[in-house]
Chains A and B, each alone.
Chain A
Amino acid sequence: MSFDPMDRLMSLCVPSLNLRMHRSLIDSLEIQSCYLLSEHSCLASGFGSIHFVLLVSRQGKVRLTKWYSPYTQKERSKVIRELSGVILNRGPKLCNFVEWRGYKVVYKRYASLYFCMCIDAEDNELEVLEIIHHYVEILDRYFGSVCELDLIFNFHKAYYILDELLIAGEIQESSKKTVARIISAQDEMVEAAKEEAGSISYIIAQAS
């Protein structure tokens, strides 16, 4: 199994969820390590929502981060560092959940990318796995056999799609078709605006 960013994320996606991870023994990150995050009232009031979404590569490079609860920049980089340390080192065939600072992080690996979502301890982990898969499927449809490189160079597109899927950490659309339709409608608007601007600048260039 290679971890090239050119690998198609979905190509390795088999129905059983546990066949795509690598093994190592470092998997205990205990809750004891500072409760930095739990101090924020915002987190306490978050009922059943996703606190953040994180995409990291096998090498630990961040490919996408989306924060639905307030974290300072410092906390964000700390969270990313801690979590990628734990998740990247978890072996295959282990469950897709890590308990972390009193929360749960649900992660799933697609080719060279780890998709992670942080939820409250009592939330439905299995559903979050479905949400992750849902997102990957939409990405796959949009890019056409999506690979990590697509997400690197078109990271803003990945964000746009995520914004059509989640708001305030809650899922907003269960239909992949609908998401694709809305995204392409907006892309068309951008293209149209660009063409217009292009023709205007052409006219200006002609005139001058």
Chain B
Amino acid sequence: MNSIFSGTRLRDMIRSIRACKTAAEERGVVRKECADIRASINENDPHDRHRNLAKLMFIHMLGYPTHFGQMECLKLIASPGFPEKRIGYLGLMLLLDERQEVLMLVTNSLKQDLNHTNQYVVGLALCALGNICSAEMARDLAPEVERLIQFRDPNIRKKAALCSTRIVRKVPDLAENFINAASSLLKEKHHGVLITGVQLCYELCTINDEALEYFRKKCTEGLIKTLRDITNSAYQPEYDVAGITDPFLHIRLLKLLRVLGHGDADASDLMTDILAQVATKTESNKNAGNAVLYECVETIMAIEDTSSLRVLAINILGRFLSNRDNNIRYVALNMLMKAIAFDDQAVQRHRVTILECVKDPDASIRKRALELVSLLVNENNVKQLTKELIDYLEISDEDFKEDLSAKICSIVEKFSPEKIWYIDQMLKVLSEAGKFVKDDVWHALIVVISNASELHGYTVRALYKAVLTYSEQETLVRVAIWCIGEYGDLLVNNVGMLGIEDPITVTESDAVDVVEDAITRHNSDMTTKAMALVALLKLSSRFPSISERIKDIIVKQKGSLLLEMQQRAIEFNSIVDRHKNIRPSLVERMPVLDEATFNVRRAGSLPASVSTMAKPSVSIPNGVAAAPLVDLLDLGSDDIMAAPSSSGADFLQDLLGVDLGSSSAQSGATPGPKAGADLLMDILSIGTPSPAQNNTSSVDLLSTPGINKNPSNALDTLSSPALPHIATTASAGGMFDLLDGLTPSPSKEATNGPAYPPIVAYESSTLKIEFTFSKSSGNPQETNVQATFINLSPNTFTDFIFQAAVPKVISVFFFSPLLSSYQNFFNIVFRSFNLQFLQLHLDPASSNTLPASGNITQNLRVTNSQHGKKSLVMRMRIGYKVNGKDVLEEGQINNFPRGL
């Protein structure tokens, strides 16, 4: 090192950086050095450039910005001397990458250097081009590189070949130009050139079909010969690695043969012998030999069927799998995954060993083994494999439990032969790794439990037992709480005992203990607490004897710091306290959850329209996109079509959401003048407190699935309390208190007489509208209305238009606990649902001119699909001209007789 490339100065800098005790100190040294380098760059002294760049590269490696040195690289590359060029190209490759514009500036220098008389300069340029060239540079310089593949010196030929691989990767169109040059390289004797030539051919084959055909025809035999030669060659110290002659060349040849043999029986046939030879003769006690064997097995499995070879390959993998070297076992697991595709049986034979690998201390091996095991599972071995995996789950590392439990769950779900087994296994997983289980997994479990009606008792007892031991497993607690809430009575009374069960004695108070524990534990999250609260509400009805105690627990939650918990506690308390008569039906057991719908939703394919359980094809009147409503906890309405108008995106909302009954409503928008009226209008129009709606709303609000089984009964129960107070806005915050406004009021049962008294639908100072009603025969849902418009003013109304609209959607507010797993926060919100139940048909009016004190009539036909349950309600607008002036009157008709 002389004074120009002052090694001392570079050394000094490295020493002083290494001497730094703290990161701050190091930053200081680097800052000072960078300042010096900048100053030196500005002086533009060519003698310092060399050293500056070397320092910058070191600083760059430490992770400091060095962009200001980029131009120095270009200057060094452009200078005539070899030392400058050498460090310049190194800096170029280190400090720049192909995405930097500066790189384009170097294209010209590269072109000159590729034509340089000194072969080492050419080598530098090729190396730089091969490592960082962009697509543009590749296009510009491809002809030079192509020419250099034929260069006299092998050192340049091999560099040009690898440079070409980069070029064709960047610009696949150029592949054709290199086919001939590449095939000439395959005849080389020099190993370096041969290796790079084979690599270039491999690259061309994967990019270009023409090239693949060409090499397959012309070169397959030559390549096989080359492979045979090096396999059989005598000891060559220069290329020998652990007794194998040039394993790198071996591997590249095998790789190229793989693409040539794949999909071509003839070519595959040709290479059978040599592959068999490599597979049997290669020493497998050293890594180099195993690397060759590994590649050979890959090739055997990729080429066209030669079953005897495949047996050989599987045997090699079997040997690999039992190897003590972890690396070898790892690649064996990796390869067996591919081998399953053509020989499942052979891989199954190694099942025991593979299972052992799942328990390996090495995370990489465990991961591979677990992937492989999940591919090995089928109907026959699922029980045994699952047992093994679950046993291991108990003792596995914490950080592996997540992967492992996810795999077990997917295996169990996919192959479970019967429900009880599924439930058993899931309980075990939840008990061991409940905190790692994803939401959709335990949601699915609840759906399955709900569907297995004969196992409800068994499940709730098993869960009760499990939760006593594993109370720290969040998801287990959730499922247990849900089941206790739903099936608490089965738990206490030992209903539906299976032969395999040990009888247990659980008192009502024991069951409540579990729920109380969950709600009071400080580390229970929001979802769990919400579920516990709902479970308590349900239990208050299931266990009337201790409902006082339950009430106390609920009351305590009034003091919760979480607004929603507080709010709901107050409401639930009100239900427990004041509405004993409706409580049983409010908290009845949920209907069976629909598995198909759940699975569809879980698969992520949300249909555009909401499918209700009974009628998948109903359309949503207002087009609100919503998640299909599959619900684990109901407070639903039936016999109506509903769609949430509030954002339905939350994944969890349907867990405790609303259950939809079948809808008998006709789909589609209501024909009528106001068909286009906006949703809010409809909501508001119906949201106005009015006696006519009381009945309607209370049914919707409080109906329970019980209605499905016994509609009249449920109706009787539910129609008694009326709700004078209905939400006019869907307040997500839930500050609006529904239940406090709920006071029992005597209900006047509708008298469904055949005749209905006429009503004055509207009256203003100028206009009066009277409605008279008649039922069409045979269809009680349909009502004919004759509207009579009476002009009370002295003026004539012209262009008289009467527009009427019934709510094509009626919005009713349900309350449902809306759980959000993402925010770790839950809302029990009043969810707004739009229910279509009315249809309106208008006949033409008798005239469009209404003389002073005269009248005109118009017929309307209203279809109420909720006949007998909901009353009619209508909005109308009357437009007319008085003395050429437009008048618009609007009104709402709420006083329809009951029973229409």
- Evaluate contact between A170 and B327: CB separation under 8 angstroms: no
Binding site secondary structure of chain B: helix
Q: Which residue of A lies closest to B161 (CB)?
A: A172
- With A97-B364, A124-B294: A152-B162 Cβ-Cβ less than 8 Å: no
Q: Which residue of A lies closest to B167 (CB)?
A: A168
A50: min CB distance to chain B, Å: 11
- Can you list the 6 inter-chain pairs with the closest CB atoms, starting with the nearest? A126-B291, A95-B326, A167-B162, A167-B130, A168-B166, A27-B363
Chain A residues within 8 Å of B148, by CB:
none
Chain A residues within 8 Å of B397, by CB:
25
- Evaluate contact between B247 and A95: CB separation under 8 angstroms: no
- Which of A45, A125, A159, A201 contacts B94 (CB under 8 A)? A159
- Residues facing B in A84-105 (CB within 8 A) are 91, 93-99
B99 within 8 A of A: yes
Complex CA–CA separation, A105 to B242 (angstroms): 24
A37 within 8 A of B: no
A-B contacts, 24 listed (Cβ < 8 Å)? A18-B325, A28-B367, A42-B98, A70-B99, A71-B97, A91-B361, A94-B363, A129-B291, A130-B288, A134-B241, A155-B58, A159-B94, A160-B90, A163-B131, A172-B162, A172-B192, A174-B191, A174-B249, A182-B123, A182-B155, A194-B2, A194-B4, A198-B4, A201-B3
A171 within 8 A of B: yes
Residue picked from A15, A152, A168, most chain B C-beta under 10 Å: A168
Chain B residues within 8 Å of A127, by CB:
247-248, 251, 291, 294-295
Chain A residues within 8 Å of B326, by CB:
18, 93-96
B132: min CB distance to chain A, Å: 8
- Evaluate contact between A198 and B2: CB separation under 8 angstroms: yes
Binding site for A on B (CB under 8 A): 2-5, 11, 14, 18, 54, 57-58, 61-63, 65, 81-83, 86-87, 90, 93-94, 97-99, 120, 123, 126-127, 130-131, 155, 158-159, 162-163, 165-166, 169, 191-192, 195-196, 199, 202-203, 206, 238-239, 241-242, 246-249, 251, 255, 286-288, 290-291, 294-295, 298, 325-331, 361-365, 367, 397, 399-400
Complex CA–CA separation, A159 to B3 (angstroms): 23
- Evaluate contact between A197 and B2: CB separation under 8 angstroms: yes
- Which of B54, B131, B199 contacts A68 (CB under 8 A)? B131
Chain A residues within 8 Å of B364, by CB:
27, 94-95, 97-99
Complex CA–CA separation, A126 to B202 (angstroms): 20
- Evaluate contact between B246 and A170: CB separation under 8 angstroms: no
- Evaluate contact between B196 and A172: CB separation under 8 angstroms: yes
Complex CA–CA separation, A64 to B90 (angstroms): 12
Chain A residues within 8 Å of B202, by CB:
47-48
- With A70-B98, A197-B2: A125-B58 Cβ-Cβ less than 8 Å: no
- With A70-B97, A167-B130, A194-B2: A62-B61 Cβ-Cβ less than 8 Å: yes
Q: Which residue of A lies closest to B58 (CB)?
A: A155
Complex CA–CA separation, A77 to B62 (angstroms): 9
Chain B residues within 8 Å of A171, by CB:
195, 199, 248
Complex CA–CA separation, A46 to B130 (angstroms): 13
Interface residues on A, range: 35 or more
Contact mask for chain A residues 130-149; partner B; CB cutoff 8 A; 1 contact, 0 none: 11001000000000000000
Chain B residues within 8 Å of A15, by CB:
242, 286
Complex CA–CA separation, A42 to B170 (angstroms): 8
A33 within 8 A of B: no
Contact mask for chain A residues 174-207; partner B; CB cutoff 8 A; 1 contact, 0 none: 1111100010011001100110011001000000
A114: min CB distance to chain B, Å: 15
- Evaluate contact between B18 and A197: CB separation under 8 angstroms: no
- Evaluate contact between B120 and A185: CB separation under 8 angstroms: yes
- Evaluate contact between B248 and A130: CB separation under 8 angstroms: yes
- Evaluate contact between A28 and B86: CB separation under 8 angstroms: no
B321: min CB distance to chain A, Å: 13
13 additional contacts (CB under 8 A) given A156-B57, A171-B199: A28-B363, A46-B169, A62-B61, A65-B94, A127-B295, A130-B291, A167-B166, A168-B163, A171-B195, A174-B248, A176-B238, A189-B82, A201-B4
- Residues facing B in A1-33 (CB within 8 A) are 15-18, 25, 27-28
Chain B residues within 8 Å of A28, by CB:
363, 367, 399-400
A173 within 8 A of B: yes
Complex CA–CA separation, A153 to B8 (angstroms): 10
- Evaluate contact between A17 and B195: CB separation under 8 angstroms: no
- Evaluate contact between B247 and A17: CB separation under 8 angstroms: no
A200: min CB distance to chain B, Å: 10
Q: Which residue of B lies closest to A178 (CB)?
A: B192
- Evaluate contact between B14 and A153: CB separation under 8 angstroms: yes
Chain B residues within 8 Å of A72, by CB:
97, 99
Complex CA–CA separation, A190 to B5 (angstroms): 10
Chain B residues within 8 Å of A45, by CB:
169
A73 within 8 A of B: yes
A67 within 8 A of B: yes
Complex CA–CA separation, A170 to B246 (angstroms): 15
A91: min CB distance to chain B, Å: 8
- Evaluate contact between A168 and B61: CB separation under 8 angstroms: no
Chain B residues within 8 Å of A182, by CB:
120, 123, 155
Q: Which residue of A lies closest to B293 (CB)?
A: A126
A27: min CB distance to chain B, Å: 4
- With A130-B247, A155-B61, A182-B155: A47-B169 Cβ-Cβ less than 8 Å: yes
- Evaluate contact between B325 and A16: CB separation under 8 angstroms: yes
- Evaluate contact between A126 and B287: CB separation under 8 angstroms: yes
- Which of B83, B97, B191, B365 contacts A194 (CB under 8 A)? B83
Chain B residues within 8 Å of A134, by CB:
241, 248
